Amino acid sequence: MRYGLFALLLLVSQAAAPATISISGDVQTPVSVSIDDLKKMPRTTVTMAEHGRETRYEGVLVSALLARAGVPLGAALSGKALSTYVLASASDGYQVVFSLGEVDPALTHNDIIVADTGDGQPLAATQGPLRIVSPHDVRGARSIRMLQRIEVVQLRK
Ligand SMILES: Nc1nc2c(c(=O)[nH]1)N[C@H]1C(S)=C(S)[C@@H](COP(=O)(O)O)O[C@H]1N2
Ligand SMILES: [Mo]
């Protein structure tokens, strides 16, 4: 019985993703970004088809969030900085990686965003409250739901 309650609490704590994500690792300044912060930033809309159904996601480019943490982008994304990757982790333990070059709109056209709404509605608990959407991937596998944190790793320093 006691164990049952413990298991339930564990399940609940794992299921709830925060409305704030942290950006840390090889950054100039670690930052945490809330949904309120996202609403005040330049917004990007993308559509992604899953199971034959299109959803219109809205949010902020991952690159704009990385810029806040002082990650090199644009002209500064050259040389050793190009060995940098972006690790995204979710509250269910799921993790995906993007290269820094893939998320920089000055280098590639991937429109990878942290979304806070789908079809104009806040994301359901199984999706959000925050989710990365990588709309030009062939499959949705890297569009990580229940996003918790973003860590930046520069391999060559
Ligand atoms: N946190 C988390 N995100 C995830 C997954 C997961 O297991 N956990 N599965 C991925 C896979 S394989 C797919 S196809 C899409 C499915 O997204 P949907 O449930 O919105 O269709 O979510 C991706 N994001
Ligand atoms: Mo998938």
Q: What is the pLDDT along the chain (157 residues), one digit of tens a residue?
A: 455 655 555 555 555 677 999 999 999 999 999 999 999 999 999 999 988 899 999 999 999 999 999 999 999 999 999 999 999 999 999 999 999 999 999 999 999 999 999 999 999 999 999 999 999 999 999 999 999 999 999 999 9
Question: pLDDT value at position 155?
Answer: 98
DSSP for 88-127, written as a single string? EEETTS-EEEEEHHHH-TTT-----EEEEEETTEEPPTTT
> Tokens 């090889």 belong to which residue?
26
Question: pLDDT value at position 1?
Answer: 47
Q: Which two tokens stand for residue 32?
A: 């945490």
Reported as half-sphere exposure (CB side, CA atoms, 13 A), residue 106 has a value of 12
Question: pLDDT value at position 124?
Answer: 97
Distance 141 CA to ligand 2 centre (A): 5
User: Which one of 54, 94, 96, 130 would you pick to mutate in the ligand 1 pocket, going by the greatest count of ligand atoms within 8 A of its CB?
Assistant: 94
- How far is the C-alpha of 18 from the C-alpha of 33, rounded, in Å? 10
- The continuous run of DSSP H or E covering 5 comes out as helix 2-15
- Runs of H (alpha helix) within 16-117: 35-40, 62-68, 100-103
Contact indicator for 128, 146 with CB cutoff of 8 Å: yes
Question: pLDDT value at position 47?
Answer: 98
Distance 83 CA to ligand 1 centre (A): 26
Contact indicator for 117, 123 with CB cutoff of 8 Å: yes
Q: Are strands 20-25 and 147-154 parallel, antiparallel or unpaired?
A: parallel
Question: pLDDT value at position 3?
Answer: 59
> Ligand 1: residues within 6 Å at CB?
50, 90, 92, 94, 127, 139-141, 143-146
From the list 122, 147, 123, the residue with the least C-alpha distance to 62 is 147
- How far is the C-alpha of 148 from the C-alpha of 128, rounded, in Å? 9
